C-alpha cells in the first residue's frame, strides 16, 4: 500500500514538473514587461513627437493663421516679433489688445482681420492684413521705421491697440470728429497715436479723440 502511495505521488510530481515550464513559457511570450527606464524613454519620445507636430516652423511666437504666416514669410523673409522697450510695455498695458497683434473687422465685411508689428533686419514694420475670403489675404503696410538701438539691442518703440467701431476719431486736416465706421488700428509711440481707418480700399491716418 505504501509503495502504491509512493508511486502515485511520484507520478503527480512528474506531471506537475512537465506542465509548469510550458505555462511559464506561454506567459512570457504573451506579456512583455519593459524596464522602468525603457518605459520612461517611450513616454518622452511620444511627448517630443506630439510637440513637434504642433510647432510653427515659421514663427512660433506669433499667434496667426498658418496661411498668414506663410504670406509674411514670402514677403518679409526672416521676419520675427520685435523686442519692445520697457516704456512701451507700460503704455500698452492700458489696452486689452496689443502691443504686437490686434484682431478686428477693419473693413466691415464681418471677417476677422489682423494688424501686427514685425521686425525685419533693422526695421519695424506695421501691417494690416485683411481676410479677403476664399483663402486670400490683402496686406497693407501702414508704417515702417528703424528700430531703436538700446545699447546694442534693437527695440521697437511702437505699440498697437484696437480702436473699436463707434469710437470717436479726429481728422487732423479739418479738426472734425467722426465715429469709426468699423474697427480701426491704432499705433502708439510715446504719447503720440495714429489711428488707421480703412476707407475706399486703403487705410487713412487719423488721430484718436
Please list the alpha-helical segments (H only) found in the chain.
2-30, 36-54, 66-75, 86-92
Q: Do 111 and 190 fall into the same domain?
A: yes
What pLDDT sits at residue 193? 93
61 within some domain: no
60 within some domain: no
Q: Which of 10, 30, 54 is the last residue of a domain?
A: 54
Domain span including residue 178: 66-208
What pLDDT sits at residue 38? 39
190 within some domain: yes
Q: Do 36 and 75 fall into the same domain?
A: no
Q: Which of 11, 28, 54 is the last residue of a domain?
A: 54
59 within some domain: no
**Tens-level pLDDT at each residue, the chain (209 residues):** 545 555 445 544 454 554 444 444 444 444 343 443 333 333 233 222 322 222 334 454 578 999 999 999 999 999 999 999 988 888 888 888 999 999 999 999 999 999 999 999 999 999 999 999 999 999 999 999 999 999 999 999 999 999 999 999 999 889 899 999 999 999 999 889 999 999 999 999 998 87
What pLDDT sits at residue 42? 30
204 within some domain: yes
| Apex 195 CA angle, 156 and 97, nearest 5 | 60
What pLDDT sits at residue 173? 87
Q: Do 199 and 162 fall into the same domain?
A: yes
What pLDDT sits at residue 32? 42
What pLDDT sits at residue 60? 46
Secondary structure class of 131 (helix, strand, coil): strand
**pTM for the full model?**
0.70
What pLDDT sits at residue 91? 82
43 within some domain: yes
Q: Do 48 and 132 fall into the same domain?
A: no
* Residue of 187, 84, 105, 183 lying closest to 144 (CA atoms): 187
What pLDDT sits at residue 17? 52
103 within some domain: yes
Tell me: cis bond preceding 99? Omega within 30 of 0 counts.
yes
Q: Do 33 and 74 fall into the same domain?
A: no
Q: Do 91 and 160 fall into the same domain?
A: yes
Nine cell digits for residue 151? 545699447
Amino acid at each position: 500500500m505504501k509503495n502504491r502511495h509512493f508511486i502515485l505521488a511520484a507520478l503527480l510530481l512528474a506531471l506537475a514538473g512537465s506542465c509548469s515550464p510550458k505555462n511559464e513559457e506561454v506567459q512570457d511570450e504573451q506579456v512583455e514587461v519593459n524596464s522602468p527606464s525603457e518605459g520612461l524613454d517611450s513616454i518622452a519620445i511620444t511627448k517630443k513627437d506630439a510637440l513637434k507636430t504642433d510647432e510653427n516652423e515659421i514663427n512660433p511666437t506669433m499667434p496667426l493663421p498658418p496661411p498668414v504666416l506663410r504670406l509674411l514669410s514670402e514677403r518679409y523673409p526672416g521676419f520675427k516679433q520685435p523686442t519692445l522697450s520697457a516704456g512701451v510695455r507700460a503704455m500698452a498695458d492700458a489696452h486689452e489688445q496689443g502691443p504686437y497683434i490686434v484682431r478686428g473687422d477693419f473693413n466691415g465685411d464681418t471677417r476677422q482681420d489682423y494688424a501686427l508689428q514685425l521686425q525685419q533686419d533693422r526695421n519695424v514694420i506695421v501691417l494690416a492684413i485683411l481676410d479677403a475670403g476664399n483663402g486670400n489675404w490683402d496686406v497693407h503696410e501702414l508704417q515702417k521705421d528703424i528700430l531703436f538701438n538700446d545699447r546694442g539691442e534693437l527695440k521697437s518703440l511702437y505699440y498697437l491697440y484696437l480702436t473699436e467701431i463707434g469710437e470717436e476719431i479726429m481728422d487732423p486736416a479739418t479738426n472734425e470728429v467722426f465715429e469709426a465706421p468699423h474697427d480701426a488700428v491704432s499705433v502708439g509711440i510715446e504719447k503720440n497715436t495714429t489711428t488707421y481707418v480703412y476707407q475706399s480700399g486703403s487705410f487713412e491716418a487719423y488721430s484718436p479723440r
